[in-house]
Amino acid sequence: MKLTQALSIDDLRKIARTRLPQVIYDYLEGGAEDEGCLAANQAAFAKHRLLPRYLVDISRRDQSVELFGQTFASPFGIAPTGMIAMVRPGADLMLAEAAAKADLPFVISGASTASIEQVARVAPKSWYQHYPCKDAGMTSDLFRRVADAGLSTLVVTVDVPLHSKRERNIRSGWVRPYKPTLAVMLESARHPAWVADYLRNGLPFMENYRKYAPAGLNARALTSFYADQVPAPHSWATLDNIRRQWSGKLVVKGIMHPDDASQALCLGVDGIIVSNHGGRQLDRAVAPLDALPRIVEAVGDRMTVMLDSGIRRGADIATALCLGARFTFVGRAPAYGVAAGGTEGALRALSILRAELDLVCGQIGCPSARDLSPAFLDGAPTQASTQQAAPLLQYVAAS
Ligand SMILES: Cc1cc2nc3c(=O)[nH]c(=O)nc-3n(C[C@H](O)[C@H](O)[C@H](O)COP(=O)(O)O)c2cc1C
């Protein structure tokens, strides 16, 4: 299948699968242990059915959203994906470029191989994702660089207290430090376009950390230097400290419990991303979409609640917005795109999702995506009953 023939995110996944060696595809696609969480994330969306309203004027439709003083063209952005340049050299910058062209936020991974400064030049509305690291001096310097590069939003990921057990990755040979075995090399030879890229460019360097590491490290040794820093032990005190150091907008990624959302709010956090890291960390974790309503009830009117994990369709984005998310992120969807066709492929992923969301909003009679609410979900309370109870909780109780 050619890129121009891809109609869905799954089509892009199939092209990526053909192009990538198994070990790299598995790194992108895989989850923790039995990958039950991975499946549950997508199944959570399929449980909900949309309830269309007709005879509504939908001739002008709008997806734009204002977030932290920035306006974006659609209610989704590109989630951080570390070491994504393994799928294609320069993939971080390609994703950043696609996000900028589509007027969406790109979140630079803490494990990016492009530097903060490079990405900010390509996509000035990017956000930076940080994993708490052991060296406090390095953390402050990274925050300074983010601010100096003109980026206003810092995302702190808290759902990696430990490295997880990704059995698929171990079986296919993705082990740290990355050094291909003979079996991996033989399988990779069946994907000549990827191998040619890899031979031309070598392993990608984690550019953000070069200045902190001993001089002259090769890419593999630099990755090990980074892996020794992250994950660092962290607690609410760490987050409090980050809040004091960072004066821009602060988002916490990986919050799943309403009490944790409330605690983040107390510390002055501006937004949270309800996320289970796309099923890559805790295999028995609840799906973010299922955790969302209780979190929205707890803090939704006082902080920006966003969501990722499992989004593959515009209808998934609509469903998350109906359940109270203000914004969403996609990790694998644009990553399949960039693996399949570089910047063009990433743009295709973003435009597929945008067009699908537009179609859903038009089909259900909700011309502004900002107006999506539980009333567009089957099982939602009728207008009369919404006067008695909050529609979101009533919907959750009934479904
Ligand atoms: C290959 C890959 C690498 C990732 N790296 C990071 C990372 O560096 N930092 C982070 O906070 N999340 C990371 N994530 C998680 C994503 O940001 C996001 O939470 C997840 O992909 C959302 O699920 P989805 O892929 O089903 O959209 C990664 C995900 C993937 C697939």
For the stretch 80-106, pLDDT in tens is 999 999 999 999 999 999 999 999 999
Alpha-carbon gap, residue 119 to 97, rounded angstroms: 8
Q: Are 253 and 155 in contact (CB under 8 A)?
A: yes
Q: What integer is the mean pLDDT of 141-170?
A: 96
Q: How many domains does the chain have?
A: 1
The enclosing domain of 368 has a CATH number of 3.20.20.70
Domain span at 358 = 3-376
**H helical segments located in 149-202:** 167-172, 182-188, 192-201
Give the H or E element holding residue 71: strand 70-72
Which residues participate in catalysis according to the annotation? 277
- As to burial, measured by CB atoms within 10 angstroms (0-12 exposed, 13-18 middle, 19+ buried), residue 186 is exposed
**Nearest residue (CA) to ligand 1, atom 15:** 277
Residue whose CB lies within 8 A of the most ligand 1 atoms, among 280, 312, 336, for a mutation test: 280
- Measured in Å, residue 79 CA sits from the centre of ligand 1 at 6
pLDDT of residue 179: 78
pLDDT of residue 124: 98
Q: Is residue 246 part of a domain?
A: yes
pLDDT, tens digit, 9 for 90 and up, residues 253-311: 999 999 999 999 999 999 999 999 999 999 999 999 999 999 999 999 999 999 999 99
pLDDT of residue 389: 55
Q: Is residue 387 part of a domain?
A: no
Q: Is the CB of 332 under 6 A from ligand 1?
A: yes
Q: Is residue 388 part of a domain?
A: no
Closest CA to 62 of 71, 54, 74: 74
- Read off the pTM: 0.96
**Nearest residue (CA) to ligand 1, atom 3:** 81
Q: Is residue 35 part of a domain?
A: yes
Concatenated DSSP letters of 210-273: TTTSPTT--HHHHHHHHHHHSSPP--HHHHHHHHHH--SEEEEEEE-SHHHHHHHHHTT--EEE
- Measured in Å, residue 384 CA sits from the centre of ligand 1 at 41
Alpha-carbon gap, residue 191 to 168, rounded angstroms: 19
In ligand 1, the atom with minimum distance to the C-alpha of 42 is: 26
Q: Is residue 137 part of a domain?
A: yes
Residues forming beta bridges with residue 95, ordered by sequence position: none
Q: Is residue 198 part of a domain?
A: yes
pLDDT of residue 388: 52
pLDDT > 80? residue 27: yes
Q: Is the CB of 129 under 6 A from ligand 1?
A: yes
Residues forming beta bridges with residue 67, ordered by sequence position: 70
Q: Is residue 385 part of a domain?
A: no
